[in-house]
Structure 1
Amino acid sequence: MVTVNEQMQSASIGHAVDLQHLSNAEVRKIIRLLNAVDAELRTKLLEAIDRLGPDSYTARRLNTVLASVYELNSSVYASIGEVMAESVVDIGRYEVEYQGSLFTRVIPGQVLVQVQLNTVNLEQVREIALSRPFQGRLLKEWMGDLEESRAARIRDAIRIGMVEGQTTDQIVRGIMGTRAQAYADGIIERSRRDVETMVRTAISHTAQGVRESYYKANDDIVAEVRWLSTLDNKTSAPCRLRDRLVYTNDTRHAPVGHKVPWLSGPGKLHFNCRSTSTPIIASYEALRLSKGLSEGTRASMDGQVPQSMNYGEWLGRQSAARQDEILGPERGKLLRQDKLKLDDFYNDKGKFLTLEELKERLVGGVRG
């Protein structure tokens, strides 16, 4: 019989995959907002540099003629900040719904009539998403830093170009990039990468923060928490070290059976952290629920930590339809035919799921 904790672990791995796809969709949406002003930015840069002129260049005059560029830059990051604030709160609310559905589906009904499940309210979600710092700053503060960094890169590129005697077109191409290189060779490409990192980190921070709050709200039934890391060639050394380790379900997150500290926790340990967690549900004996439980319920509620299972093993156990959804039909077929290993073709940026698509899954029940 598959135990409750084995079901929890499998579901947590699958949910982490879906959240990565959701992050991909959010990144694409935010980058689209940033790119939407490129044409206007190019025009304003051309006008500003022409006004500046090589003979009248000074640092003070540069800031004056770049006023409209700074204003546009500030405006687009303000828009991104508003969209991101709304998105992370929505994602936090979805995470609450997901955990509630998961616990309700996996934990036997005979147990749930005796143990009440608690939830996390909207105010708690908003506090986690908007009022808790990740990597040292709040979401609002990160947006301000990203805005200032892009403005500084633009200003510095113009300064260097003027000193080196570059033409207006050369300076602007250096900033914006060239069509031949899909504009990836411009100095503002770094800004796109920084925004992507911020989006992914904000989402993982919020989802894990809500997850932990849900576990703690139900600490009478969640005995411990297990760290789960995505294991591939992109996995950081700190996350590899912590994969499958168990910690207490409290504010201390003390190590259980090892000495590796929790630190910020999965999803929050570093930028772009893809690690997640899974709850370890207490045994029926620990919950003092032995009376009136069927033999099958007692067997499923053994409280044991499931055997280790990495992502590749989990994927191999999924249905063909689920494998195709994650990898794409062709790669899914290759996986099932043992023609290629997972690391040979898996790219976690290859599939995009929107938040609405994820919410629709709750209608039919949470999957592992």
Structure 2
Amino acid sequence: MATVNEQMQSASISHQVDLQQYSNAEVRKIMALLNRADADLAARLADAVARMDGQSFTVQYLERMLASVRELNAQTMASVAEQVTADMVALGQYELDYQDRLFTTVIPAPALAVAPLAGVTLAQVRQIAFSRPFQGKLLSEWLSDIEAARAARIRDAIRIGMTSGLTNDQIVRSIMGIRSEGYADGLLNRSRQDIESMVRTAIGHVSQGARDQFYAANDDLVASVKWLSTLDSKTSPDCRLRDGLRYSKDHKPVGHSVPWLAGPGRIHWQCRSTSTPIITLWEELGLTPEEIGEADRASMDGQVPESMSYGDWLKTQSAERQDEVLGPTRGKLFREGGLTLDRFYNDRGRYLDLDQLRERDARAFEKAGIAA
């Protein structure tokens, strides 16, 4: 039977996989919001550029002509900020509820009887999300900076276009990009990338902050914390170095000298690392052998489980769970085609699509019985 700490580690990895899927869904939601707003923005840009007189073009003239565009840009980013703010509060509360369920499910009842779980309030969740900086700034500051950067890119592109003799359509297209290309060829795509990076980082910041707060509120049950990194071709050197390392409840290194820094989920942009608690020994909770029983004593042995990579964890999961994480085709290639997790990525850490996978590993498709 798996120990309490082994169960905690497996659940923490599984939960982090779910958070990555949530992160993908959140990015898609925000990008859909931008797409709807940017269709109107393109129309306002076209109108503003069409009304500009190249002969009387000055910086002051440009600012007057772009007033409507700046207003819409501000409204768009206000909508993004409202959505992200609401979602981060909901995420923080969800994380606390998840940790409460996890501890209640995994830790034996006799231990919870002498060390009842303490809750964390919604006010504390909001403080984690909005009053603590990540990557040097508050969430509100990142959103404000992205709005300003979008406005500056629009302004500068028009300045360059007008002075370079570009047509009105060419100026608008250079800013917005082409819809059929997902707007990836437009200058504002940089802002989309900034927003995606900010959203993914905010999710790591809020979820890990909520975990830290929950651990602190229940420090009689949490003896220490173990760093868990998603080990694949996209893992950063900082996270690869820290995977499996233990830290005290106040984040001091245990048995090593590698600093915690900002912690998992926050140590760098779009960090996918997380943490798992090491639960206090039953003796240290003041329990007697008679109170806890033989099976529960064995499960609360205090041993730190061996580190498990993302791929190793995935091998222990059901076919249904593997398909949920990887998709049905990749799941079958993982189980039956002989492909390890790293084979799903290129040398830049980019997820390969199925055609690229087939070109690289046609034999794996044959082995798994997946037709062309």
Give TM-score, length-normalised by structure 1.
0.92
2-structure distance, mates of 1:95, 1:349? 31
CA distance in 1, matches of 2:82, 2:199: 13
- Separation in structure 2 between the aligned mates of residue 183 and residue 77 of structure 1, nearest angstrom: 17
Quick check: 1:92–1:210 contact (8 Å CA) kept in 2?
A: yes
Q: What residue is the counterpart of 1:167 in the other structure? A: 167
Structure 1 counterpart SS, 2:232: coil
1:147 counterpart = 2:147: yes
Quote the offset at 1:64 in angstroms: 0.9
* 5+ long unaligned stretches in structure 2: 354-372
Distance 1:180 1:124, change over 3 A: closer
Partner in structure 2 of residue 288 of structure 1: 286
Answer with 241-250 or 286-295: which moved more.
286-295
Runs of 4+ in 1 over 4 A off after TM superposition: 346-350
Judge conservation of contact 2:223–2:248 (CA < 8 Å) in 1: yes
Higher relative contact order (CA 8 A, sep 6+): 1
1: distance between equivalents of 2:224 and 2:232?
Answer: 26
1:37 aligned counterpart, secondary structure: helix
Structure 2 SS opposite 1:133: coil
| Counterparts of residues 124-273 of structure 1 (less than 5 Å) | 124-179=124-179, 181-250=181-250, 253-273=251-271
1:341 Cα deviation after fit: 1.5
Contact 1:267 1:276 in 2 (8 A): yes
Structure-2 residue corresponding to 1:48: 48
Partner of 1:93: 93
Give the C-alpha shift of residue 329 in structure 1.
1.9
* TM-fit CA distance, 1:46: 1.3
Query: SS state of the match for residue 302, structure 2?
Result: coil
Write the letter of the residue equivalent to 2:292.
L
Q: Which residue of 2 aligns with 1:363?
A: none
**Superposition deviation, residue 143 in structure 1:** 1.0
Are the counterparts in 2 of residues 30 and 80 from structure 1 also a CA contact under 8 Å?
yes
Output the amino acid matched with 2:281.
S
Question: CA distance change for structure 1 residues 338 and 289 in 2, over 3 Å: closer, same or farther?
Answer: farther
Shift of 1:288: 2.2
CA–CA distance in 1 between the matches of 2:83 and 2:180? Answer: 31
* Alpha carbons 2:114, 2:285 under 8 Å: kept: no
Any conservation in 1 of the 2:248–2:254 contact (CA below 8 Å)? yes
Pair 1:298-2:294 in alignment: no
State the secondary structure of the residue aligned to 2:134: coil
Cα distance in 2 between the residues matched to 1:90 and 1:181:
33
Q: CA deviation at 1:53?
A: 2.0
Per-residue deviation, 1:328: 1.5
In the other structure, the counterpart of 1:16 is: 16
Structure 1 300/348 Cα, relative in aligned 2: closer, same or farther at 3 Å?
Answer: farther
- 1:98-153, Cα deviation, whole Å (9 max, x unpaired): 00000000001122122211111111011111111111111111111010000001
What are the Cα deviations for residues 25-69 of structure 1, in whole angstroms up to 9, with x where unaligned?
111111111111222111111111122221111111111100000
C-alpha distance 65-53 of structure 1, shift in aligned 2 (>3 A)? same
SS in 2 for 1:186: coil
Partner AA of 1:309 in structure 2: M
Corresponding residue SS for 1:225: strand
Deviations 1:272-322 (A, max 9, x none): 011100000011122221342211111000111101111110000011111
Q: 1:324 to 1:178 in 2, by over 3 A?
A: same
Q: Are the equivalent residues in 1 in contact too, given 2:146–2:191 (CA < 8 A)?
A: yes
Q: 1:20 touches 1:348 (CA, 8 Å); kept in 2?
A: no
Q: Which residue of 1 aligns with 2:67?
A: 67
Contact 2:183 2:189 in 1 (8 A): yes
Query: Is the 8 Å Cα contact of residues 227 and 243 (structure 1) preserved in structure 2?
Result: yes
Q: In 2, distance between residues paired with 1:308 and 1:184?
A: 39
Amino acid at match of 2:223: A
- Indicate conservation of the 8 Å contact 1:139/1:202, yes or no: yes
Q: Shift in Å at residue 180 of structure 1?
A: 5.0
Task: List runs of 5+ in structure 1 lacking aligned partners.
Answer: 351-368
CA distance in 2, matches of 1:307, 1:94: 28
Q: Do 1:222 and 1:279's aligned partners in 2 also have CA atoms closer than 8 Å? A: yes
Choose 9-18 or 48-57, whichever is displaced more.
48-57
Alignment-mate amino acid for residue 78 of structure 1: A
CA spacing shift, 1:338–1:110, aligned 2, 3 Å: farther
Counterpart of 1:274 (choices 272, 275, 278) is 272
2:323 aligned with 1:324, yes or no? yes
Let me know the Cα RMSD of the aligned residues.
Answer: 1.5
Secondary structure of the residue aligned to 1:280 is strand
Q: Identity percentage over the alignment?
A: 60
Q: 1:229 to 1:45 in 2, by over 3 A?
A: same
**How much does 1:335 deviate?**
1.4
Asked if residue 79 in structure 1 is aligned to residue 70 in structure 2, the reply is no
Q: What SS does the aligned partner of 1:36 have?
A: helix
Q: Is the 8 A contact 1:45 1:172 kept in 2?
A: yes
